[in-house]
Amino acid sequence: MSASPLPPPRQRMAAGKLAENIMHFARVLRAAGLPIGPDRVIDALRALETAGLERREDFYWTLAAVFLSKREQQELFDQAFHIFWRDPQMLERIMSLLLPQIYGRTGQAEQDPASRRLSEALYAKREQAEEEGQQQEIEIDASLTFSQSELLQHADFESMSGAELAQAKKLIARLRLPIPEAQTRRFRPDARGAGIDLAATLRAGLRGGAQIIALKRRSRIKRHPPLVVLCDISGSMSRYSRMFLHFLHAITNDRDRVHTLVFGTRLTNITRHLRNRDVDIAMNRVTAAIQDWAGGTRIGACLEEFNRKWSRRLLGQNAVVLLISDGLDRDVGAGLGTEMERLHKSCRKLVWLNPLLRYEGFQPRPTGVRAMLPHVDAFLPVHNIESLVDLARELEHGNWQRHSGRIAA
């Protein structure tokens, strides 16, 4: 690493190494995920010339004021600063991430996601050089083969390797759900509106004093309806649930009024955790909040709790509900039909996403599936990236046909 210890600052500035070290520090932050370009490096140098380098604290906050644009970036910047500018304790902690784990010590399994990204950024050049060396030795004619992204779109989440899952998460982060806008009860002034605004017309006539009063028109305000997601996190849905949470994180940070609740044997609201823009920190907090991950499933009891506690708060204003579950209920569908009917009547659209639909010969034989199916507006498969893209198209067009207990061919 080219960075030298910070003190004495005046000697470093005089030697002309300040600009070089700031540039390398900015590269580390950019590799770790912060949007830093050459303009911020120039601004940082000008700010340091103005603020001075007499104290380490001034140096830290000057760089933070220039490089940070969001509150979520503070933790990553703090770690990068102490590592790059030679904090021995922090450097030892990050280096331990690259060494084999030693048995017999507790509490070392949990690692900060930001630290893992930072360690990858600091040692990215060495790994890139090794990969380039391997690529120079192997030449493959791929003119008649599918690209890796196309293969990932059709690959099942259950059969993906760790590297494929990591790449799939990056593709999922760019997906969006374009739900059509719905008319609300509120109006706005509109010269081409179909309705006449009588109050505005009378007010204009009192102010103008003319014999002929022009009619004022209005139209209804359109707004994207709320999106409520109920995600099954039972053992049979474990691999799919982890990928769906990354998808829901992207949706939550893309639009407003998105609410996510997960259920297994109990119901847990994780909406506020998914609103953190750093996906690693968000997933870490979600995992800590869920106590029944990969356990049993009590769909009927969890839906009853949702209808009783959350329905009035979340399902107003023509809300759309996505129910992600395989329909395998530990309680053998007890009370499930009643709660599904109540949920369906409380929302605008109820879409059931079931990964079991990936099988061509799937039949609604389980009791829970038969109890749920008559009360949904759409029954769609969701087991890979392509199915998520199809879901977005389905929601955008809104051509949903109500199923009456049978699977469409």
pLDDT in tens, 235-255: 888 878 888 888 888 888 888
The token pair at 353 is 């996403």
- By the 8 A CB rule, do 117 and 76 touch? yes
The token pair at 44 is 């940082």
pLDDT by residue (tens digit) across 84-109? 876 544 444 544 544 444 333 434 44
Q: Is the pLDDT of residue 5 over 80?
A: no
- By the 8 A CB rule, do 243 and 305 touch? no
Crossing angle for the helix pair 56-67 and 38-51, to the nearest 10 degrees: 150
First to last CA, the chain: 61
- By the 8 A CB rule, do 400 and 394 touch? yes
The token pair at 156 is 């099942």
Measured CA to CA, the distance from residue 351 to residue 177 in angstroms comes to 13
The mean pLDDT value for 103-124 works out to: 51
pLDDT by residue (tens digit) across 124-147? 545 554 554 444 443 333 333 334
In this predicted structure, which of 2-6, 47-51, 175-179 has the lowest mean pLDDT?
Answer: 2-6
Question: What pLDDT is attached to residue 297?
Answer: 86
Measured CA to CA, the distance from residue 168 to residue 148 in angstroms comes to 10
Which H or E run includes 168? helix 162-172
Nearest CA among 293, 236, 231 for reference residue 265: 293
What is the pTM for the complete model shown? 0.58
Measured CA to CA, the distance from residue 239 to residue 324 in angstroms comes to 13
pLDDT by residue (tens digit) across 39-54? 888 888 888 888 877 7
Question: What residues have CB less than 8 Å from 349, skipping those under 6 apart?
Answer: 320, 321, 377, 378, 400
380, β-bridge pairs? 353
| Residues listed for the chain | 409
For residue 66, the tally of other CB atoms under 10 A from its CB is 21
